[in-house]
């Protein structure tokens, strides 16, 4: 196989809101970024542009008073990144080696996002194959306020914190929210359970699985086919929307064993910067955010990553998760800022 060596100051994995914002900032800083994203693939549900490519109306991205279609928004991001000279490459990155430093010369910004977990049942796929985007969603914050769900009966599938959070949020708009769970107990933390149990608009359908999402192209979702997992009994349950809340999976498989991550696989960053545990490798967007997971927060941390990368390439110190700061030259500044440890291990005072 031919190997092509690309020399770049900044390589960005992912062209969702985080990756393209990092590209806009680093391109404007003359860092000539290369954005690598997986080619469009229906089975893997990948499209350059990230998760917003599979949604319809985005009503909460600032700057678009009337809302904007997800793919249209991402096209604008892409055009803006191109305008300042970003280069694009469509390929899956299947392996990274962060142990050596060819990337003395460049930095890596990881913006590979996360994917919602789905049930894999009939009716769940994206329109036109199912009702995804027409009554089926995996994001209450994103889609809950849409007119299609207001004052309607909705179903949330799941029993963890995500499901409780989604159900509680949806009661702001819905007439009633039914949480369908496979067991007779929730996995959610106590406080989240209490909140859901005390909410008059939430009811639970225990020991049950959703087998199929029902509807028509004109009306969207009209119901779900439920099965009682103890008795095997099946019934049709009318509802106008289904929110699948069984968790998310960050796209971090290829960084396992190299970058620090939490137990689910979200990359750990400094908190004061987007630095990971390896100097010169930064992470932004959903790949490092299990809490907010919004386009605007992804874009915000994308901007931070680009500024961190700029600082790093300018030989300035960047805050690490360990609390110390590092430079591209291998110097460490201690968390108390009292000392600098040089690349060859000498300690010198940092006092002026
Ligand atoms: C249906 C739906 C509706 C949503 N609606 C809204 C909304 O209305 N408002 C809102 O603010 N947010 C919404 N969100 C959430 C929003 O889409 C995400 O928070 C945002 O896209 C995260 O951006 P990101 O750049 O971190 O990652 P992503 O958008 O996930 O982009 C990551 C990119 O990296 C690529 N990639 C991953 N691994 C590799 C690899 N190994 N090699 C090459 N490329 C790789 C992927 O193909 C993908 O294109 C919605 C999400 C979904 C699923």
13 lines ligand 1 (CB under 6 A): yes
239 has catalytic annotation: no
CA 114 / ligand 1 centre spacing (Å): 6
Residues 6+ apart with CB under 8 A from 161: 187, 188, 189, 192
Residues 6+ apart with CB under 8 A from 286: 16, 18, 51, 113, 114, 248, 250, 293, 298
CA 18 / ligand 1 centre spacing (Å): 8
35 lines ligand 1 (CB under 6 A): no
Q: How far is Cα 246 from Cα 251, in angstroms, rounded to an integer?
A: 16
Catalytic residue among 143, 286, 289, 308: 143
Q: What is the H or E stretch that residue 304 is in?
A: helix 295-313
CA 312 / ligand 1 centre spacing (Å): 26
**Of the residues 16, 74, 96, 118, which should be mutated to test ligand 1's pocket, given the most ligand atoms within 8 Å of the CB?**
16
pTM of structure: 0.86
Q: What is the pLDDT along the chain (352 residues), one digit of tens a residue?
A: 456 666 788 999 999 999 999 999 999 999 999 999 998 876 666 789 999 987 778 999 999 999 999 999 999 999 999 999 999 999 888 888 887 764 544 679 999 999 889 999 999 998 889 998 899 999 998 899 999 999 999 999 999 988 999 999 999 999 999 999 999 999 988 998 999 999 999 999 999 999 999 999 999 999 999 999 999 999 999 999 999 999 889 999 999 999 999 999 999 999 889 999 999 999 999 999 998 999 999 999 999 999 999 999 998 999 999 898 999 888 999 999 999 999 899 999 988 7
Catalytic residue among 142, 239, 284, 303: 142
- Residue 56: predicted pLDDT: 79
- Residue 42: predicted pLDDT: 63
CA 296 / ligand 1 centre spacing (Å): 11
**Residue 217 class from Cβ within 10 Å (0-12 exposed, 13-18 middle, 19+ buried)?**
exposed
């Amino acid at each position: 196989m031919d190997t092509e060596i690309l020399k770049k100051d900044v390589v960005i994995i992912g062209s969702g809101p985080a990756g393209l914002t990092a590209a806009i900032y680093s391109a404007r800083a003359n860092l000539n970024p290369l954005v690598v994203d997986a080619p469009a693939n229906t089975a893997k549900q990948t499209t350059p542009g990230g998760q917003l490519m599979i949604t319809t109306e985005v009503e909460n991205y600032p700057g678009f008073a009337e809302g904007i279609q997800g793919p249209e928004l991402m096209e604008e991001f892409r055009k803006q990144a191109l305008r300042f000279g970003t280069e694009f490459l469509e390929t899956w990155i299947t392996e990274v080696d962060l142990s050596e430093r060819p990337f003395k010369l460049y930095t890596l910004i990881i913006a590979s996002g996360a994917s919602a977990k789905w049930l894999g049942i009939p009716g769940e796929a994206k329109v036109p194959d199912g009702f995804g985007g027409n009554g089926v969603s995996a994001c209450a914050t994103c889609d809950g306020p849409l007119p299609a769900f207001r004052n309607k009966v909705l179903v949330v599938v799941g029993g963890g914190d995500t499901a409780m959070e989604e159900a509680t949020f949806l009661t702001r708009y819905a007439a009633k929210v039914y949480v369908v769970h496979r067991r007779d107990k929730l996995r959610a933390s106590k406080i989240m359970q209490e909140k859901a149990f005390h909410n008059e608009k939430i009811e639970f359908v225990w020991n049950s699985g959703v087998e199929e999402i029902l509807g028509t192209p004109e009306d969207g979702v009209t119901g779900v086919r439920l099965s009682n997992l103890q008795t095997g009994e099946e019934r049709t349950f009318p509802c106008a929307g289904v929110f699948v809340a069984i968790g998310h999976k960050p796209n971090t498989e290829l960084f396992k064993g190299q970058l620090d991550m939490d137990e689910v696989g979200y990359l750990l960053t400094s908190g004061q910067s987007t630095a990971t545990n390896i100097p010169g490798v930064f992470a932004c967007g959903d790949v490092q955010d299990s809490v907010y997971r919004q386009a605007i927060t992804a874009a915000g941390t994308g901007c931070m990553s680009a500024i961190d990368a700029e600082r790093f390439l300018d030989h300035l110190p960047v805050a690490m998760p360990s609390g110390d700061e590092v430079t591209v030259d291998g110097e460490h500044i201690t968390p108390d800022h009292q000392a600098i440890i040089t690349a060859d291990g000498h300690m010198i005072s940092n006092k002026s």
